[in-house]
Amino acid sequence: MLRHDYPGLDCSVAKALEVIGERWSLLIVRAVMHGNRRFGEIQESLGIARNVLSARLQRLVDEDILERRAYQENPPRCEYFLTEKGLDLWPALIALLDWGERYTPRPQGPPRVIVHKQCGGRVNGRGICEACGKVLHARDAKQVPGPGWGPAVASAAAADSRG
């Protein structure tokens, strides 16, 4: 992207896209949401160039979407966590996920499905539990293997189980 802002557009969609509309940004948020916290984990799970990942993480921290926490001093090592602002992107991610699944379906079905932690019901594209009808937030939901589960998604799942 040449510029990542949309000057002159008085629209909150544009404002949102100025922050998370850059290539990779939303996928990084999703990777962290799935439990990938370290630079190497995120890099490997996405296959993103290291310099670009570095720049995006910096931007996401600056925008208060991610929080950087040291887990070790010597040598300095850190992990990335979602802030409340970052967690609030969950409905948008769920909506995109739903749209993506609807229009680029796989023969075996989705590799992962989102379920309500409390009741185990399937979560729909609006972030609503289909079993109990509750409107959920990021912390209320988790991913579990779906019908299209395969080895390609195993590493993400391993990270997920740690989260």
Partner DNA sequence: TCGACTTGGTTGCATGATGCAACCTAGGAC
Partner DNA sequence: GTCCTAGGTTGCATCATGCAACCAAGTCGA
Residues in the site for a copy of itself, rule: CB under 8 A? 1-2, 6-17, 19, 21, 23, 26-27, 30, 46-47, 85, 88-89, 91-104, 110-111, 125-128, 135, 150, 152-153, 156
For residue 114, the tally of other CB atoms under 10 A from its CB is 23
Contact of residue 150 among a copy of itself, DNA, none (CB under 5-8 Å per partner type): a copy of itself
Task: Tell me if 54 contacts DNA by CB under 7 A.
Answer: yes
Residue of 81, 62, 60, 59 lying closest to 70 (CA atoms): 81
Q: What are phi and psi of 105, to 5 degrees?
A: -70, 150
Q: What is the largest CA-CA distance in the chain?
A: 48
Q: How far is the CB of 76 from DNA (least distance, A)?
A: 7
Peptide bond into 75 cis (omega under 30): yes
Query: Quick one: which segment of 9-17, 75-83, 94-102, 122-130 binds DNA (CB under 7 A)?
Result: 75-83
If the CB atoms of residues 57 and 97 are measured against DNA, the closer one turns out to be 57
